[in-house]
Structure 1
Amino acid sequence: MTGQPNPMPATDHPGPAPFEKLAAGLAVIWVITVVAQVSLAPESMLTGPLSFLMMILVALLPLALLWGIVITARTIRSLRAEAGQLRIAVDQMQHAYEGRPQDPNAKPMLEKKLDEIAAAQRKTESALAMFTSRRDTALTVPSADRKAALTMPVKVQGDEQAALALGTPAEDLRAPLSVGDFVRALHFPESAEDKAGFRALRLALEDRKTSRLIRAAQDVLTLLSQEGIYMDDLKPERCRPEVWRRFASGERGREIASLGGIRDRSSLALSSARMREDPIFRDAAHHFLRSFDKTFAEFEQNATDSELADLAETRTARAFMLLGRVTGTFD
């Protein structure tokens, strides 16, 4: 068949090597010497079983040693010949593969299988991107279970205008999202069994302000997972809460550079390349950064320093640090 390498030649039985001839000659000389010695020795030296046994050992041990050396050398010689034949066969296969036309339909079966597995893995990772991370125990904020995460708008109502109960929006009747549920939702559920995580995520999606950030975070986390970037693999450097507050107050640039605690070069390079080449990824990243900026500015007004530290450990905050560095927010 065209393009197949030539079969490896059969191993021929090599002729006797020079060292084998030398060993055979030494064996013959030794046998002649022993026979001559025995024939010329006086009869008194050959009397008794012990002397006869010693004579046999003296005659056979050097021959056995020579035979062992010959067998070992012959085995090494055979292995070297086989290694050379294998090397030639591999070179022929490599040249045959490189000489094939670059037809995508002519890939070897193994390469096709690898491509199919990689495609299926990317699809699975994209669908389950928000469930692949570990929840840190530091994200539990029992002291903030009832405190509102975001500031509530102050409605000024005129004296002449009466409040109509029937016209009150359902959103105004719903209890505000707590800090604990807000932080837990931004970290996303750990698995299908994470009931508390799904409850917090459901409450966050019912909140109009938080839902925008949640959906924007889902989009960028899914897109990042397609590049093999997962937030739990990133270990950002911790930043002081006052730097987060300066960011919430509107400061940008080097004054808040410590917020960009993601130092993983591979993730930064992959994200930067995707940002340049993929307009969908670029739009999603900028939309996410704007949503995080706006929502965090409200969250910071009600949050304590420990609650800001808890938020910084979420997957959403790590995505912000990564994309913030890529887009130059901290430059």
Structure 2
Amino acid sequence: MIDRSKPKQAPAPDANALGVSEMVALALAVVWVIAIAVQLILSPGAVLTGPLSFLMLLLVVFMPLALIWGIVSTARTIRALRDEAQHLQVAVDAMRHAYVLGQQGGSQPSVEKKLDEIAAAQRKTETALAMFTSRRDTALTVPSADRKAALALPVKRVSDAEPSFALGTPADDLRAPLSVGDFVRALHFPENPEDKAGFRALRLALEDRQTSRLIRAAQDVLTLLSQEGIYMDDLKPERCRPEVWRRFASGERGREIAGLGGIRDRSSLALSASRMREDPVFRDAAHHFLRSFDKTFAEFEKNATDAELADLAETRTARAFMLLGRVTGTFD
């Protein structure tokens, strides 16, 4: 456990106070001056016999005093430096204590969290701008992905020549259509074992006949790609305008829809192309997935708004389509 008490402050030294060394030096200086004075009083004629003798007397008197006070001054400087070093150590300990408390309290957000918030805000802005680049869904009075069907329902026509039998209504006709929100969430697959909403959407999607074919095909190619170390979460495709997705749904191919091939990761493209050439199982799974995506997306586009197309483009299934579409030359 970290001690949260404030570090103790060392007492500030008194610059004018006399230490033990100063007092000892003062006593020695007084003793030396008294000894010289006694010597001069007892034998004055023996000492002062000429100019050279007077100079020697001055050296004998003042040289020891200068040495004593030089030593005392040096000792005092060393003591001051030691006290300053002690105060610096106390200040460093206080700064370290405050830093540890700040880290435990979580008062400062991490740089990674700030970058994630900026990236999320940028994605929301790009999605909002993309909504104004193409058509709107005018068929709904309340535009909600949870209220409308993801795929356009086929119109069943019964010929008069065909007999009808009262054998009951098929189960597919009684089941509610898969919503856009569940469709998009299912194509992204659950994030983790605790993603209850993701598993619920996946279960509903597997109950839909057409969507289940795309889900299983996507699961096959994602499993095969993971064997090469290619994961859709690692790919960051370039954004494409919704109108290009609609042109793809209408049947256009080639360079007119080249913007859909937003995967630029060279390593993933090279590994996928090599696996496509060498592994017939991977090649068949990839072509089956692309056909399923093409057919299902054409039905989804009829009911989808631009924002819903942008959400679909962020799913793992859509990223696999962009990657394999570039490998197979769909955008060439």
Q: TM-score range by the shorter chain?
A: 0.5 to 0.7
Counterpart position of 1:265: 266
Cα distance in 1 for partners of 2:266, 2:182 equals 32
Q: 1 CA distance for matches of 2:331 and 2:155?
A: 33
Q: Does 1:190 align with 2:177?
A: no
Tell me the alpha carbon deviations over residues 53-88 of structure 1, each in whole angstroms, 9 at most, x when there is no partner.
Answer: xxxxxxxxxxxxxxxxxxxxxxxxxxxxxxxxxxxx
Instruction: Tell me the equivalent position of 1:246.
Output: 247
User: After TM superposition, which residue ranges in structure 1, 4 or more long, deviate above 2 angstroms?
Assistant: 157-167
Residues 245-276 of structure 1: per-residue CA shift (max 9 Å, x gap):
11111111111001000000011011111111
Deviation at 1:157, TM superposition (A): 2.9
Matches within 5 A, 1:1-331: 143-158=144-159, 166-331=167-332
One-letter code of the match for 2:158? Answer: Q
d(CA) in 1 for partners of 2:212, 2:252? 25
Mapped partners of 2:166, 2:314: distance in 1: 41
Question: Sequence identity of aligned pairs in percent?
Answer: 88
Stretches of structure 2 that go unaligned for 5 or more consecutive residues are 1-63, 65-122, 128-142
Question: Matched residue pairs, number?
Answer: 212
Q: Secondary structure at the match of 1:167?
A: coil
Aligned counterparts of 1:189 and 1:311: Cα–Cα separation in 2: 15
Unpaired stretches in structure 1, ≥5 consecutive residues: 1-48, 50-135
Cα distance in 2 between the residues matched to 1:212 and 1:188: 14
When normalised by structure 2's length, the TM-score is 0.56
Instruction: Name the amino acid aligned to 1:192.
Output: P
What is the CA–CA distance in structure 1 between the aligned matches of 2:287 and 2:162, rounded to whole Å?
41
Q: CA deviation at 1:167?
A: 2.6
Normalised by the length of structure 1, the TM-score is 0.57
Q: Distance in 2 between matches of 1:311 and 1:251?
A: 19
Residues 160 and 317 of structure 1: CA distance in aligned 2, closer, same or farther (over 3 Å): same
The whole-number CA distance in structure 2 between the counterparts of 1:192 and 1:294 is 30
Task: Call closer, same or farther: CA 1:161–1:283 in 2, change over 3 Å.
Answer: closer
Distance 2:202 2:331 in 1: 29
Instruction: Find the structure with the greater CA-based Rg.
Output: 2
Aligned partners of 2:268 and 2:320: how far apart in 1?
A: 11
- For the aligned residue pairs, the C-alpha RMSD in angstroms reads 3.0
